[in-house]
Chain A
Amino acid sequence: MVKSRRERRLERLQKKSMLSFSESKKPESSTQSDISMKSKKKGNFFSRIYEDHYKKLVLIPMLLLLLSFVVIGFNIAETGDFMNKAVSLKGGITLTIPTITQEIDFKALESNLKSDLSKGDLSVRELSEFGVQKGVIIEASGVEEDELLASTKKAVGDFGDSYSLENLGPSLGASFFKQMMFAVILAFIFMGIVVFLYFKTFVPSVAVMLAAFSNIVIALAVTDLLGMKISAAGIAAFLMLIGYSVDTDILLTTRVLKRKEGTLMERIYGAMKTGLTMNITTIVAVTIALIVTNSDVIAQIMTIILIGLMADIVNTWIQNVAILRYYLEKKGIKE
């Protein structure tokens, strides 16, 4: 329930900002002199809302962030952790077996294994390429390697040597997790320093950092909702999200603060056109990778970047724009 509503809203939001983007072409294509943002009688409904009620619109990203915190809170209450860790972050065994002749019924395999190895925590997923099963991944903790192999062979038949098995000790797993978290925090601080050095103004820099923060939190909440188990590669994706999402914010801030041509709204729309093209190309490429890939590592990286980039559209073009406009208004710079 919660999930579908959230997703629908996300989609709606996306459409909204896309619409205002396509509408924005109208003033741009007319001659330079006759548009001033104060005479927006002709502006369409969405761009009117976007331009006049930007402070109210900020409620959308704020609510999204709040909702994400609630989701994460629920996850903590339910599982005791703010994200579901894969075995590469908590220790355990990952067993991958390729589909050789006939498809493996992974659900049956899971229940089989669960009844066979009752003591461990266990899950089975499918690896597929274009919807065709390529193999199954079994993640288990608290089970011995040999037991797991034997039980799996019993359930699906002998697969000989053609399997991959990763086994990580629990204490090393816990330390991996701690360090990955540390890496994320460090990366975030470094990012903040770079942004501050670049713009040398407090509010716009904080706005960029806030957008990156929201993207990460929203992406984390969605992965929680999807029940996705985050592996070390997933953490790398969160880090990458910092890099990916910040460039549209930097583009926006640069165009708004450092350029002088046109009105403020024109500069915002100009940046939006560039920024949305950037986001859309990446979203398209990431979606393709997600559909085509047969690797669990790549699928997880792409899912997290995809969610984060969608969140970034809202956080950049509603939240960051609003903060910048409010900041300039306060500073008394008129459009």
Chain B
Amino acid sequence: MSKIKNIFTHWRVIIVLVFLILSVASISPNPWNEGATIRFEAKNSSAAIAGIENPTFGGTPMSKETILSINNKPITNAKDYFDFVTGLPPNKTITIRSDKGFYKLVTKPEYNITILDETELIRVTEQVFNETLNETVNITRVEEVQKVKKDIIGTEDLGLVVYDAPTNNIRKGLDLSGGTRVILKPEEEVNQEELDLVVSNIKERLNVYGLSDIIVRTTSDLEGSKFILVEIAGANKEEVKELLAKQGKFEAKIGSTTVFKGGDDIKYVYRRAECAGIDPNSACGPSGDGWNCRFRFSISLSTAAAQKQADTTKYLSVVTEGSDTYLNESLDLFLDDQKVDTLRIGSELKGNAVTEISISGGGFGSNQQSAMADALNNMKKLQTVLVTGSLPVKLTIVKTDSISPMLGSEFIKNAVLIGLLAIVAVVVVVFIVYKKLVIALPMVVTMISEAIILLGFASIIGWNLDLAAIAGIMVAIGTGVDDQIVIADEVLRGEKGVFISWKDRIKHAFFIIMAAFFVTVVAMIPLWFAGVGILKGFALTTILGVSIGVFITRPAYASVVEILSK
């Protein structure tokens, strides 16, 4: 009994226990979690109108919004959701209850739109943010539009893409969760800055489509070539390829007239600090119960675009708002036909074909600093939108992977089975060799602890576990067995009467263990960087696994064996 007490009061064992508790808390397993978790949401869909938020990037898997019931009918998985929503009639109200709230959705009819050969006049009421008054005002105008014929052909999708509710916080890599991965290579040499620009561009465009659960990042290989990696869980390859292959379509419209487009019309968007940033003339000031900051940056238009702008603004009237004068119409920015921003036009631009235009906007925050950050963030977003469609480099797709989620779940079940069988087998062999439960049993506990702590680490740092990473976990735990055998042997040698102090025996064991540890780590480092990091997961889990073993669990194993064999 006192042995057990000695074990659980030993500091090394306590450290392992603390790590185990933290890991389990971070993984937060809940095998009974049910529902349909929202992966992403389409813009302007019924779901978006009802107020369901598009899941933000990041955040733990378990914290994502999960649909629990629709019309009081429980939804336990993604299939229940699909079964329910297929065959819904248009203009029907349904209630969705999720773990975050309660929503009323109205299904939208889906139309087949035929463009007729005539036009009609319609009144358009728009909400425009007036920056001087700092409030939204309604502007109504009459527009001439193409007459169309709409036929209802069915019900529009609710706009949600869902998947089975996760049962823990471990993020699954693409080869386990299913989805699409595309690696793009710039066709010419580019610097990191340009590449970052391309990345934020792609992100912005994918966000326009409501795809938020995405990874877009630059990656490079040992030869210094740069690539862009795009991973979208749950999306199919065709959708992603189509999105990426299309040049982003950017249009700036006044009313229904397109003034300029992305590409040739915008010559340059200034991003350097002296031409872009917080407006030095009217920087920041308190506004309401917070702070308001202004940014400004310049763009350079082609002469053709400048002329078009002058022609369009010539007939607009000037309105005075406070001390500033604006034109009565605004400039709307569209990205892939979705309106992303609206800018007021200064009255001095009326009928004036200038090529250098200053664009300004604001940001809001609870203090000056956050208002400034918000303003700069808005500026960056706007700049990205303006250059979308005029990407600085052409990209080619060099690798596409699309993985069916069906195979992924099979792999996970199988990996768990392998792990359990391998642990049993190892323990049987060890028991046959040493014929001592005090050696074999703590070994099982150590191996399982190493796996749990490793998964805990992976969920804390938000690492996506893929198949290679699972192989890495197996390998890391395998080296653990080797280390524990070395420890067990040193302990038993002491029992045989060779007189060496306990401390020396453990020192001997760890001399060998550390050598093996260093060799494994240095062997894995080159893999981290090789080939666009395709095996980064393997390298990382192996290094992390052996480190956890050598510094946390294996010393505890040594202490436990010492206490038990005394």
B402 surroundings in chain A (CB, below 8 A): 164-166
Q: Taking CB as reference atom, which chain B residue is nearest A276?
A: B433
CB <8 Å contact, B519 and A293: no
B183 surroundings in chain A (CB, below 8 A): 172
With contacts A168-B398, A186-B526 taken as known, whether A284 is within 8 angstroms of B425 at the C-beta atoms is yes
CA distance A290 to B175 in the complex (A): 20
Stretch in contact with the other chain, from B54-62, B315-323, B475-483: B475-483
CA distance A220 to B100 in the complex (A): 55
CB <8 Å contact, B498 and A172: no
Q: Which of A162, A191, A259, A282 contacts B482 (CB 8 A)?
A: A282
CA distance A289 to B414 in the complex (A): 10
Q: Is B436 an interface residue (CB 8 A)?
A: no
Q: Is A64 an interface residue (CB 8 A)?
A: no
Q: Is B194 an interface residue (CB 8 A)?
A: no
CB <8 Å contact, A294 and B414: yes
CB <8 Å contact, B421 and A232: no
With contacts A236-B538, A284-B426, A285-B425 taken as known, whether A250 is within 8 angstroms of B512 at the C-beta atoms is yes
With contacts A240-B475, A297-B467 taken as known, whether A175 is within 8 angstroms of B489 at the C-beta atoms is no
CB distance from B190 to the nearest CB of A (A): 17
Stretch in contact with the other chain, from B21-29, B219-227, B327-335: B219-227
CB <8 Å contact, B527 and A161: no
For the complex, count residues of A whose C-beta is within 8 A of B.
74
A284 surroundings in chain B (CB, below 8 A): 422, 425-426, 429
B222 surroundings in chain A (CB, below 8 A): 179, 182-183
Q: Which of B479, B512, B522, B532 contacts A254 (CB 8 A)?
A: B512
CB <8 Å contact, A176 and B534: yes
CB <8 Å contact, A277 and B485: yes
Number of chain B interface residues as a range: 35 or more
A251 surroundings in chain B (CB, below 8 A): 486, 512
CB <8 Å contact, B526 and A242: no
CA distance A292 to B410 in the complex (A): 12
CB <8 Å contact, B511 and A232: no
B470-502 interface code vs A (CB 8 A; 1 in, 0 out): 110011001101100110010001000110100
CB <8 Å contact, B493 and A270: yes
Q: Which of A167, A198, A247, A288 contacts B425 (CB 8 A)?
A: A288
With contacts A98-B404, A167-B400 taken as known, whether A190 is within 8 angstroms of B522 at the C-beta atoms is yes
CA distance A163 to B406 in the complex (A): 8
B452-471: which residues lie under 8 A (CB-CB) from chain A? 467-468, 470-471
B412-439: which residues lie under 8 A (CB-CB) from chain A? 414-415, 417-418, 421-422, 425-426, 429-430, 433
CA distance A188 to B524 in the complex (A): 10
A178 surroundings in chain B (CB, below 8 A): 223
Q: Is B523 an interface residue (CB 8 A)?
A: yes
Q: Is A218 an interface residue (CB 8 A)?
A: no
CB distance from B431 to the nearest CB of A (A): 11
CA distance A165 to B182 in the complex (A): 12
CB <8 Å contact, B471 and A277: no
A278 surroundings in chain B (CB, below 8 A): 481-482, 485-486
CB <8 Å contact, B523 and A240: yes
A207-250 interface code vs B (CB 8 A; 1 in, 0 out): 00000000000000000000000001101100110111011001
Q: Is A298 an interface residue (CB 8 A)?
A: yes
A191 surroundings in chain B (CB, below 8 A): 519, 522-523
CA distance A180 to B531 in the complex (A): 7
Q: Is B350 an interface residue (CB 8 A)?
A: no
Q: Which of B225, B407, B485, B527 contacts A175 (CB 8 A)?
A: B225
CA distance A164 to B429 in the complex (A): 38
CA distance A281 to B481 in the complex (A): 8
Q: Is B530 an interface residue (CB 8 A)?
A: yes
B489 surroundings in chain A (CB, below 8 A): 270, 273-274, 277
B355-398: which residues lie under 8 A (CB-CB) from chain A? 396-398
Across the A-B interface, the 4 shortest Cβ-Cβ residue pairs: A243-B520, A190-B522, A247-B516, A183-B526
**Could you list some 16 contacts between A and B, CB below 8 A?**
A98-B407, A165-B401, A166-B403, A167-B401, A172-B183, A175-B225, A183-B222, A187-B527, A195-B515, A233-B468, A240-B520, A240-B523, A243-B519, A244-B475, A280-B433, A284-B429
